[in-house]
A and B are shown apart, each in its own frame.
Chain A
Amino acid sequence: EDKVVQSPLSLVVHEGDTVTLNCSYEVTNFRSLLWYKQEKKAPTFLFMLTSSGIEKKSGRLSSILDKKELFSILNITATQTGDSAVYLCAVPSSGNTGKLIFGQGTTLQVKP
C-alpha cells in the first residue's frame, strides 16, 4: 500500500531558527514527490522532486530527495513568522487515478 509519513507532526521554533522537515514514502511506482504549504486555506505548491541528490531551492526553502532511502527533507533557513503553516508532502499514487497520497503534515509555528 502506498504510504507517506511525515515527521515531526508539529514544531515550534523562534524567528531566525533553521528547521528540517522529514518525509518518508513507500510507493510501488515512484514518479515524483511534492511539497506543499498550507496556511488555513488551499495547499500551495512548493517543489516537485524526481531525481535523487538534486536540491531544489526557492529563497530560504530548499528540498532534496533520496530515492535509495525513500525520503525527502524540506529545509527552511532563517525562519520568519510568515513561514508558520502546515507543510504537506505527497506522492502520486501508483495507479492511474490522479491521486496524491499525502502525509499527515507538519505544523510549523514560528514565534517572534
Chain B
Amino acid sequence: EAQVTQNPRYLITVTGKKLTVTCSQNMNHEYMSWYRQDPGLGLRQIYYSMNVEVTDKGDVPEGYKVSRKEKRNFPLILESPSPNQTSLYFCASSPSDAAPGYTFGSGTRLTVV
C-alpha cells in the first residue's frame, strides 16, 4: 500500500531533550515536506526536500533540522525542544512540486512541557 509512515503518533517530552520524528514513504516520491498545524494558523511548511541531499527551509524552520540521506526517509529533528513547538506535525510527499498526489502521513502530536 502506498503510504507515508510517521512515528511516533504521540509524544510528550520535556524542554531541551532532543527528539526525532521519523518519516518514510514507499512511493519513490522526489519531494518531501514537514508541516506543523496549529489552531488558527493552519498548516505551515517547516522544511522541504526536492531530492536526496537537497533540503531547504520552509516558512517556520527555527528550532528544527532535517536530513535526506535516502530518498524514502525524511526525519525531523528537534535538537532542543521548547513549549512553543507543541503542535501537530505532518510529513508529506509528492512526485513533483505541484502534483495532486500529495500524500500525508498520519501525523505526530507533540507536547513539550
Contact = CB atoms under 8 A, between A and B. Distances in A.
Interface of A: 31-32, 34, 41-45, 48, 88, 90, 92, 96-100, 102-105
Contacts of A103: 42
Contact of B107 (A31, A32, A41, A96): A41
Nearest to B95: A98
B11 to A, nearest CB: 16
Contacts of B59: 99
Q: Nearest 6 A-B pairs (CB), nearest first?
A: A98-B31, A42-B104, A48-B100, A92-B98, A102-B43, A98-B97
A99 B98 CA distance: 8
Interface in B27-53: 31-33, 40-45, 48-50
Given A88-B43, A96-B97, 9 more contacts: A34-B102, A42-B107, A43-B43, A97-B45, A98-B48, A99-B48, A102-B43, A102-B44, A104-B42
A68 B47 CA distance: 32
Contact of A98 (B33, B44, B90, B100): B33
Interface of B: 31-33, 40-45, 48-50, 56, 58-59, 90, 94, 96-98, 100, 102, 104-107
A41 B10 CA distance: 12
Contacts, number: 58
Contacts of A48: 100
- Among A32, A90, A105: residue with most chain B CB under 10 A: A105
Nearest to B94: A98
B106 A42 contact: yes
9 contacts: A32-B98, A42-B105, A45-B102, A97-B50, A97-B97, A98-B48, A98-B49, A98-B96, A100-B102
A66 B104 CA distance: 27
Given A42-B106, A98-B50, A31 B98 contact: yes
Contacts of A45: 100, 102
Contacts of A104: 40-42
